[in-house]
Amino acid sequence: MTGIVERLSCSHCNAPLEYNPGEIIVTCRYCGSSNVIETGVAFTLEHSMLVNNFDSESVRNLVKEWMKSGFLKPKDLKKCSKITEINLSYLPFWIVPIEASSHYRGLFERAGPSIEKKSDIQKSYNWVVLGRKASEFPTREFDVPLKGKIPFSISKIGSEARVLNSEVDENEAKDIAKQEVEAHHEFLAKQEVDRIIKIKTTVQIGDAVYIHAPIWFITYEYKGNSYRLVIDASNGEVIKGDIPPIEEFKLF
Ligand SMILES: [Zn+2]
């Protein structure tokens, strides 16, 4: 960075906007309206949110429930682990509606002589794109519960929660979604044929939805190692949870 700090104020309430380098769509901490940084104008798309339905105590209980359930976990997981970090962030997502149809030709070789096969894949998606560039988030595992979405309101967000701004604008989100859907269809085609000769995917992209979703990030310690858990704070579902290896099954 050059050290030049551009001062921008919220186009709605005039309060100074706080943001970090790389952030493009900035939500005002005072009035909750979003501004596009490059142009300084108000964000014209619909901005939605999901609400957090869990306080940190009930999240702790969810974590304990998760630790107790499922047979792939160590039996003493609940007893022997300790939550070391727990925090709530509202992450920016773009939900991109996509109709995608692929036509492909490929060779089916797994059952003897190779046979040429042609087929189509037609699907529609609400493709989830995270509005942050350097963050790891299991977007493919995250089925955003869109039924619960309401218009964004800063008053519904507690002061303990972080609200992250988007580093990705709508057009970029659509590009990312298109590339990921194309890759996904290639993956699907490869389930049917062993070698793809040609695949062509055409997409129709609708209006993207900009939405802030509350996510609990939890770190727990078990026998000296740290593990992470990501929980959807609107419905309490574990989006992704690291499970310690079961010792009896260890080979080395
Ligand atoms: Zn404002």
pLDDT per residue as tens digits for the range 44-58: 788 999 999 999 999
> Residue 133 falls within a domain, yes or no?
yes
Distance 208 CA to ligand 1 centre (A): 23
> Residue 131 falls within a domain, yes or no?
yes
In this prediction, residue 26 carries a pLDDT of 93
In this prediction, residue 5 carries a pLDDT of 52
Residues 11 and 135 in one domain: no
Number of domains composing the chain: 2
Specify which residues 97 forms β-bridges with: 126
In this prediction, residue 4 carries a pLDDT of 47
Distance 26 CA to ligand 1 centre (A): 10
Distance 58 CA to ligand 1 centre (A): 32
Distance 215 CA to ligand 1 centre (A): 24
38 versus 132: the higher-pLDDT residue is 132
Q: How far apart are CA 185 and CA 102, in angstroms?
A: 7
Going by C-alpha positions, the residue among 82, 236, 51 that lies closest to residue 158 is 51
**φ, ψ dihedrals at 50, nearest 5°:** -115, 150
Residues 51 and 83 in one domain: yes
> Residue 173 falls within a domain, yes or no?
yes
Task: Output helix, strand, coil percentages for the chain, rounded to the nearest 5.
Answer: 20, 40, 40
Which whole number is the average pLDDT over 168-192? 96
Distance 36 CA to ligand 1 centre (A): 12
- Residues ≥6 apart with Cβ < 8 Å to 98: 124, 125, 127, 177, 178, 181, 203, 204, 205, 206
Distance 13 CA to ligand 1 centre (A): 4
Distance 231 CA to ligand 1 centre (A): 29
Q: How far apart are CA 44 and CA 52, in angstroms?
A: 25
> Residue 252 falls within a domain, yes or no?
no
Q: How many helices (H) and strands (E) does the chain have?
A: 3, 11
Residues 35 and 49 in one domain: no
pTM, rounded to two decimals: 0.88
Residues 160 and 236 in one domain: yes
In this prediction, residue 8 carries a pLDDT of 84
Residues 13 and 97 in one domain: no
Please tell me which of 16-20, 91-95, 131-135 the model is most confident about, judged by mean pLDDT. 91-95
CA dihedral 49→210→137→10, nearest 10 degrees, is -80
In this prediction, residue 1 carries a pLDDT of 40
Give the single-character DSSP code of 199: E
Phi-psi label, residue 165: left if phi above 0, alpha if psi -120 to 50, beta otherwise: beta
Surrounding residues of ion ligand 1, Cβ less than 5 A: 10, 12-13, 15, 28, 30-31
Distance 169 CA to ligand 1 centre (A): 19
In this prediction, residue 63 carries a pLDDT of 97
Distance 12 CA to ligand 1 centre (A): 5
Distance 163 CA to ligand 1 centre (A): 14
Residues 65 and 155 in one domain: yes
| C-beta separation of 243 from 75 below 8 A | no
In this prediction, residue 241 carries a pLDDT of 95
Query: Does residue 249 register a pLDDT over 60?
Result: no
Distance 16 CA to ligand 1 centre (A): 8
Distance 175 CA to ligand 1 centre (A): 29
Which whole number is the average pLDDT over 145-171? 93
Going by C-alpha positions, the residue among 227, 231, 225 that lies closest to residue 243 is 227
| Average pLDDT over all residues of the chain | 91
> Residue 251 falls within a domain, yes or no?
no
Distance 8 CA to ligand 1 centre (A): 11
Share of the chain above pLDDT 70, in %: 95
Distance 27 CA to ligand 1 centre (A): 8
Distance 15 CA to ligand 1 centre (A): 5
Residues 87 and 12 in one domain: no
Q: Domain span at residue 29?
A: 1-44
